A and B are shown apart, each in its own frame.
Chain A
Amino acid sequence: MSVNKRTKQGTDNPVLKTVGNIFDKVQLTKLLIHTLKELGYNTAAGALQEESGGIQVESNVVQRLFGYIKQGKYEVISFDLLNSLSLRTTNHDSANNGKKVFTDRDTSININDIISSDLDVVAITANFDTQYKMFYDFYTNTTFNTVSLNRFRNILEIMILINKHFFTELIYEVKDLPNAVLFLRSIIRKYLTLWDTVLTGLQTNIIDEDIVFTPEKVLKELSSILTMPEVVIKKNNSTNDDDCTETQIWTGSVKNSRQELIEKISFYINPNDLVPQGRLIELLRQAIKYQRSCNSFNLFDDEIDVDYSQDDPVTLLQNNISDFERINFVEQKTLASNMDEIWYLEFSPNGKYLAAAIANSVSDRKVTVYDVENDFSVFKVLRGNSQCILYLSFSEDSKYLVTCPFNEHTNIYDITADGETIELNVEKGGFPQNSRRSSLEGGKKEKSTIETQVLGPIDSFCIPISSPKAQERSGNSMHSAGNETYNTSSPYSDTQSPSSAPDSTISSRAATDNLIEQTENSLRSWCCDWFHTEKHAGKLVIGSPDRDVVIYDTKTRSIIYQFSRNWNLRSRRASSSAYRSSHDSDNNNALRRMPRETQAGTVVNTLMDEQFPRIHDLKISQDDNYLLLMTHQGSINVFNISNLPTNDELKGLDSSILSNHYFKMETKLKIGKNITCISLPMPSCENYGRLSSLVLVNLQHNELQLWDYKENILIQKYFGQKQEQFIIRSCFGFDNKLVVSGSEDGKVYIWDRLKGNILGVLMGHANDRLPTRSGSNARKFSKNCNVVGWNPNNKFMFASGGDDGLIKIWKVVKD
């Protein structure tokens, strides 16, 4: 240890005040002595103490106080003694609960191990009473500023801790219940009242419910000990098993509980007088963490914080900078069986399936589900969407898949069901003018056919327009639920024969025309998400750019809630009040303004102004408490949906009960630019608890932003990727340490989530292009990478999809 060597040089030369010109020599020696003691080298510690000229880890006052506590001499603890303690200047609200002490209790302090159980109860009580008077006099006779009042509060809190401890000793050790009651009534109560006054004087707001050390809670705790001591002990033992360091009232023996008291008090004491426990270890941990963070390409061994085990190969003798453990990304597989551009793909929550939607407007088999574990073979093909699919979403149990086509019914599939078996032509794929594939397939130049199953939707529905006029026209055709037999209700099912792919082009086109007539009275559905928790299983939320969001229950096959209806009620109230208030403020300087000008700024269209926003993307938080709606105006509305009735509650109720339900809008993230996509962190990693309120947004002009939707703050920005006009989607990955996004130049960009630096740019979809589609209108083909998706169950795997019709599977490796 280099530090050690330096100190030895320092002790050779006592004139040198500081070591290495940075550190105070006395402090360093204290730290060393303390660490030596902690390691069990008591003789060496004594020798060092002697050689350094009697530097003491604990100051005299601290030693005296701790000695008194150890011996149970509470009668000599006085206000003057406590007042001479040098205390920490920082606020202790968080320090005194929740800090974890991880050193061995028995070796930490050994001033005096004599434990005397003989307490002079009368003398102690008398002493505490006189000390209270001193406290009180001091409090009334001194004019405090904030600093000195804080100091007084800390001394008082130490005194209360000692009092509290003495009280528990009375009950559990001496078993002198009458005296304990008397003590609680006559003395502790006085202290607590004084403490309460001091706290009000400081205007400390105790917001955090978890803080145990407040006057009310201490009083409650002590009186509950008085009534039923055994129960309290039991309760505290059980909390100990959970390894949370709450206030432990009685540890079983006098020695332990006094040690506990000393540890509690030591949080108050200035570190110059008492080195905090495990200080050197803490410093070393921080140093190693820093060294590792220097290598920005090393994201692998942050595990030091997670399992800090003995056999952890952490070396202290050299810097922990490893250049060889760089993060890198390699292409694992290319899936080329898709016939057109990939606009959306998603892994199922259990990581077993990968669903991809193509933009082909010819075939109606637009969604392909791949089996991830079986080398990405085609698992199922889903038919029944004649228009391009914008969005897919897997249910939490990975059984159902919902698709949102352009302007059609939203379809729900059960991907575990059996469908009609067909032979899928991999090479030609049913797309006649596709010669490009042969080059990609490499050796397999012959047509290879594989057997797969085609599934129809089990349920299909659309969102009715909520305005009454439209409902009249649409009549009862607005909701066409599917039957048990697959999709007989869908208008195109009878014209569609699954085994004849070329014919389907014509019939699906004809079907599309029918469909337009039918869906003119419904809203488009552009995005959806399932509820995650068991209590809401089977429900999903669908968002529409036609100003609506609905909650759909797949069990009852009905729309149980429509956001826009209650929004109108709310906004009308809000806008009328806003109108009034703006009017009021105008009245003040109405004379100075031109009447026309005031009018121009004011909102004239009170019925239209606060319309429900157009929703382009939505997500439900993992705990089903928040619904995030991405609007087209560059904001994210966060709704609190925790009061939505659960499935069990809904069973007994009429569904109309929800029509007056009101969800509160918690926050509105004003992002200000056009957003194309939002995504939430992966729930499957260990650090999810801290990150659960993050949301990643793609902005239209070459930017990604990371927000915290509970705090409503911007956390990080990510640059480099290209995004001007297209909808590009992004995701979190690799235990949420990375942020991945597609780009308009066909590459996949990967950033460090925390630091925002680019870790990788993958040439995913930049090379290959589809041939121009037949027709006179030549389209300018771009080469976007539209979507990326991370496997929730395998943190090393992710997929990207682009305009070239390829899905690429990538793997994270150590280089």
Chain B
Amino acid sequence: MSFISLLWVLLLGSLLGLELIGKVPPTLHTPLMSGANAISGITMLAALTLIVKAEGNVPLLIIGSVSLGFALFNVVGGFFVTDRMLAMFSRKPSNKK
């Protein structure tokens, strides 16, 4: 990929992000923040790339592995905790007694 096309990707991604969140009810601010936060753990892909391309370089493997751990902590924790929050909203008054 040329640098210029990566810049286009960056630009279009940012515009998409700006468009996606227009009106959010305040109720959902915390879950939305937490969900978006989980997505930012996408750096796990970069960590994976690092490990695959390390070619037996042990320090690099370790750095990649620690980085992957941090990213997955972010991703898995983030999605679970968001789900926990949202589960409370979706409980209908009819099915509890």
Q: A and B: partners?
A: no
Interface residues of B (CB under 8 A from A): none
